[in-house]
Amino acid sequence: MRYIVVDLEATCWTAPRNSDMMEIIEIGAVCLIGSAGPAVGEFAEFVRPAESPILSEFCIELTTITQNMTDVADPFTLVFPRFVDWIGKEPFRLVSWGGYDLTQFKKDCVRHKIPLPASFENHINLKQEFSRVKKLKPMGMKAALEILGIPLSGTHHRGIDDARNTSMIAQIILPLLKP
């Protein structure tokens, strides 16, 4: 069984807003060939947001994704099908740190009238599983890495870097889960 470890970055603001306003601006993913790995491929693309195309200063500072990166990116309607094609037809489980990523995929698919593949529902919330296995309260991915003695690699809050880091945790936790 393959595991697709995904991390999304989305538009965000300092002041609270309706979460339905958020749009994906980066899809980062790592493919694990089995529960213990190894990683055999990566997907990393920026996405041009449609409804809020101008990134907030907060979003730029948090993610390090610049306005130019999203301005020259393709829209979700082109990037998401490429992501689905990259995943391929072989069976897989979608893995993310928390439930946010699956929820955001659902929202963006509805916004752009693109069907969410049914296979995405076969999702593992690694944050929840880590907490259960380690008998700890839920925590951020960075704190989980520290507990496991794994250094944070890359830039935190960048989709591909967070997917790589989450995949390191996944290779330890997934083999401990019952099939």
Residues designated catalytic: 9, 157
* Cα–Cα distance measured from residue 44 to residue 74, given in angstroms and rounded to the nearest whole number: 12
- Burial pattern 40-70, b for ≥16 Cβ within 10 A else e, equals eeebbbbbbbeebeebeeebeebbebeeebb
Token look-up 């997917």 returns: 163
Query: DSSP E strands: which ranges in the chain?
Result: 2-10, 24-32, 39-46, 92-96, 123-125
Q: What residue type is assigned to position 84 of the chain? A: V
Enumerate the β-bridge partners of residue 2.
92
Token look-up 């889960």 returns: 177
